[in-house]
Amino acid sequence: MVCKRRVGLAVQLVIALALLVPASAGAQDTIGKWVDVFQPSVLNQKQQRQELEWFKQAAEPMQGLEIKSVAEGITTHKWEAKVLAQAFYEITGIKVTHDIIGEGEVVDRVQRQIQTQRKIYDIYVNDADLIGTHLRLDSALNLSDYMKGEGAEVTNPMLDLDDFLNPEFGQDYDGNQLQLPDQQFANLYWFRYDWFTDPKYKKEFQDEYGYELGVPVNWAAYEDIAEFFTGKTIDGQTVYGHMDYGKKSPSLGWRFTDAWLSIAGVGDKGLPNGYPVDEWGIRVDGKTPVGASVERGGAANSPAAVYATTKYVEWLKKYAPPYAASMTWSEAGPTPARGNVAQRVFQYITWLSDPAFNSPDSPVTDATGKPVWRVAPTPHGKYWDEGMKVGYQDAGSWTILKDSVTGKYRKAAWLWAQFCVSKSVCLKKFLVGRTPIRKSTVFSDYLAKEEEKGTYGGIVTFYKSPVEHMWTDSGPNVPHYPLLAEQWWKNVALAVTGEATPQEAMDSLAYKMDDLMGKMRLNQYSPKLNPKKSREYWLSQPGSPKPVRSEEEPETMPYDEMLKKWKNQ
Amino acid sequence: MKKRTLGLLAYFIILAVPIYWMINTSLKTDNEILKQLTFWPKDPTLKNYIEIFTSSIWRNSFFNSIVYVCLNVLITLVAAVPGAYAFSRWKFRGDHHLFFWLLTNRMAPAAVFMVPFTELYYTMHIYDTHWAVALAHCLFNIPLAIWILEGFMAGIPREIDETAFIDGYSFGRFFRKVFFPLIAPGIGVAAFLCFTFSWIELILAKALTVTEAKPVVVTLTVGIGAEGVRWGLLAAAGVLTMVPGAIVVYFVRNYLAKGFALGRV
């Protein structure tokens, strides 16, 4: 009995001693260990140590705290969950569960947390597309104020907001940072560089169309190229000049809400989103949305929007593989990797980190495993004018819901967010998931060397280019993103199936958006619809909505020449 | 006879196609799945299964599902057996209406209960626990179990109860020794149906869990993201999701045949 008690005491003593060993003794080694993991980095090892040391000290009052964050299932976030959460825990003592769920589910939970004010997660990585929703519901923590006030001591002195590629994605009309980008990926034009530079095809194209085969600058050229390649036999298989998807499912909405109309030229000039009419065709007066239909000054059913829909349906039917129309977004994403597609106007670059596009046995890489495809700027439609945005970038951004997350949980969440976007880890994170957020990452020497080898198929080149800022997310004009986004696929699908003409489909979408906006009662800048006027009145006003335009002259530019031009700017 | 055999054979083939397809897909690489249609894996791989077994997320999800499903079946049977006995043996005012009302609960759309349950469980501090989902599923499973068991019990002559009491059995002892063995097939059927419902239910399971009790049905939906669908992984998870159901069927198979013949299924 006594013996047993002694053993018990001894065990307790050992455990107590183990707990008493100061955490700091191992911390230095811990930081060293993680510095080794986070290589390459834009910081030198000394600076990395300094930054990680700061995290350790700032987190001291929160040691032992457990927080939950959430993000959608892409490689970048999975790496955060697996590696960064572990690193953060070892360095700061704050335990993070970085939950990975579907994107739709993230949006559902954001809404549920806002409505019920019950905390589900301490911090979300949520698309900056919701910026208009957050600023009107007054739901997101104003990070600009927080960094200056309550959160000053937990704000990383090395955060360097100016180094972010597009901090404006997460800003409200007044430049307040409500969301901070954690990963972003553009939607670009994808093409088979090897075919486009093949002298045989170049000559054939020149003879047939009278201008040079190259990266299409506008839709007229894209259409010619699509027609040129469709039905050709290359490498023993029939190829197509276009790839898209058209299944009646929620993902069809993204094909449009991710700025397809702005690519056609629907909105007004002005970056990031076009003002007063934006990429969805919603007009705002000051900060108040006043309508989406032309009759109320919007452009969702304007000639430009109808042209965008018409071309989408026409190309899908004429130039895409026969199975494209029945595919969803997820299914269509990797199909260009099959090697039978010459170009794609709407390609998210997240797909391009997939082995299907990069492995040596892929039909779209050469013998050394280097891509024979490239990405280039999205060609624009005939309504597009200089000074407008020209494409879409998705920016998963850190968002703290202010009513349900307070005090030390808020601080811990903010620390975790900054850790995931810190210069110490950003370059490494890019190598894993190819979703850059910092200028220092894309302009790093390391990536410059890789770029010369042709590793990324032009992704880094695009991010370094002077045009990158023209690819933006959905802006602050959209008053309630989840509700309005849902209307798109239901209406656009009518045009795909032929149940309605493109004009009827866009009319029904625009009126539905007006109807919903008219019923909204949001905390601030709630929509207030313009009185209806005739279409002619609005179409004759300057700017968007724009009256019918005549066809444009096709224009292309050789990819290599474009690179030279960028370098000289 | 021959016609019947052929018909049955065709029926089983049609039934087996999705299962074969899922197993086939789970043994392929995503590259092969997306590239062409193949009836068996060209280059079989266990990578998808290995990923599931080595990932703590998948392991925890399976564990969470099993825990709350078992909890739910247990709670359901404990509540439903006495309930069904009462309905089958005693007449009281409004018993038919009450019985029918119970059944209508089964028809309620789960989505309606999402917000109230979330609020309730938050207040009770059991949100995002196994208990939350187990209790929520009772709403659907208890009426179902009562309905099935009542059918069984009604088929057992009341004289058996009376004889037992004349023989001096206490109610508890009678129930254990005499009545329970008689309704065992019914309990088997009820348990099986409750298990399958709880195992595949998604709406409430998704709404009432976050990370601590995240079930496999929710983890399955994560495979669909901005990088597309990981078909092989989803198929492997799908195959593994069928396994517990198959095990349950194996154990209650003898009761099932009897149960479906006797009860109100």
Q: How much is the pTM?
A: 0.89
% of chain B at pLDDT higher than 90? 60
Cβ contact B222–A333 (<8 Å): no
Band of residue A10 on the pLDDT scale cut at 50, 70, 90: very low
What pLDDT is stored for residue A58 in this prediction?
97
The 10s digit of each residue's pLDDT in A229-274 is 999 999 999 999 999 999 998 889 999 999 999 999 999 999 999 9
Residue B31 predicted with pLDDT over 80: no
What pLDDT is stored for residue A1 in this prediction?
46
The 10s digit of each residue's pLDDT in A405-424 is 999 999 999 999 999 999 99
Residue A3 predicted with pLDDT over 70: no
Q: Between B218, B226, B228, which is nearest A72 by CB?
A: B226
Angstrom CA distances, A497 to A36, A260, A430, A494, stand at 55, 19, 40, 5
CATH topology of domain A31-182+396-437: D-Maltodextrin-Binding Protein; domain 2 (3.40.190)
Residues of B in contact with A101 (CB under 8 A): 218, 221-222
Q: Which of A5-14, A339-348, A363-372 has the lowest mean pLDDT?
A: A5-14
Residue A11 predicted with pLDDT over 50: no
Average pLDDT rounded to a whole number, residues A361-379: 92
Residues of A in contact with B119 (CB under 8 A): 116, 118
Q: At residue B184, what is the residue type?
A: A
Average pLDDT rounded to a whole number, residues A76-91: 96
Measure in Å the smallest separation between the Cα of A316 and chain B Cα atoms. 20
Domain boundaries, given as residue ranges, for chain A: 31-182+396-437, 189-246+323-382
What pLDDT is stored for residue A368 in this prediction?
86
Dihedral pair phi/psi, residue A292, rounded to 5°: -115, -25
Residues of B in contact with A434 (CB under 8 A): none
The 10s digit of each residue's pLDDT in A131-176 is 999 999 999 999 999 999 999 999 999 999 999 999 999 999 999 9
The 10s digit of each residue's pLDDT in B76-134 is 999 999 999 999 998 889 989 999 998 888 888 988 898 889 889 999 999 999 999 99
Band of residue A300 on the pLDDT scale cut at 50, 70, 90: very high
The 10s digit of each residue's pLDDT in A45-61 is 999 999 999 999 999 99
Band of residue B229 on the pLDDT scale cut at 50, 70, 90: confident
The 10s digit of each residue's pLDDT in A104-137 is 889 999 999 998 899 999 999 999 999 999 999 9
Average pLDDT rounded to a whole number, residues B4-31: 93
* Domains (range + CATH), chain B: 1-44 (no CATH), 55-263 (1.10.3720.10)
Measure in Å the smallest separation between the Cα of A109 and chain B Cα atoms. 9
Question: A15-19, B134-138, B175-179 — which one is most confidently predicted on average?
Answer: B134-138
Cβ contact B227–A74 (<8 Å): yes
Angstrom CA distances, A264 to A85, A280, A391, stand at 41, 11, 10
Q: At residue B28, what is the residue type?
A: K
Residue A22 predicted with pLDDT over 60: no
Q: Between B119, B207, B227, which is nearest A351 by CB?
A: B227
Measure in Å the smallest separation between the Cα of A185 and chain B Cα atoms. 10
Cβ pair A283, A296 in contact under 8 A: yes
Cα atoms found within 13 Å of the Cα of residue A16, Cβ hemisphere only: 6
Question: A8-12, A546-550, A563-567, B213-217 — which one is most confidently predicted on average?
Answer: A546-550
Cβ contact A74–B211 (<8 Å): no
Band of residue B258 on the pLDDT scale cut at 50, 70, 90: low
Interior CA angle at A383 toward A381 and A384, to 5°?
70
Residue A4 predicted with pLDDT over 50: no
Residue B265 predicted with pLDDT over 60: no
Residue B230 predicted with pLDDT over 70: yes
Q: Between A112, A121, A334, which is nearest B34 by CB?
A: A334
Residues of B in contact with A353 (CB under 8 A): 227
Extract the tokens encoding A296: 């109320």
What pLDDT is stored for residue A21 in this prediction?
42
Band of residue A15 on the pLDDT scale cut at 50, 70, 90: very low
Band of residue A14 on the pLDDT scale cut at 50, 70, 90: very low
How far apart, in whole angstroms, are the C-alpha atoms of residue A298 and residue A281?
5
Exposed/middle/buried for A318, CB within 10 Å: 0-12, 13-18, 19+?
Answer: middle
How far apart, in whole angstroms, are the C-alpha atoms of residue A420 and residue A431?
14
The 10s digit of each residue's pLDDT in A464-498 is 999 999 999 999 999 999 999 999 999 999 999 99
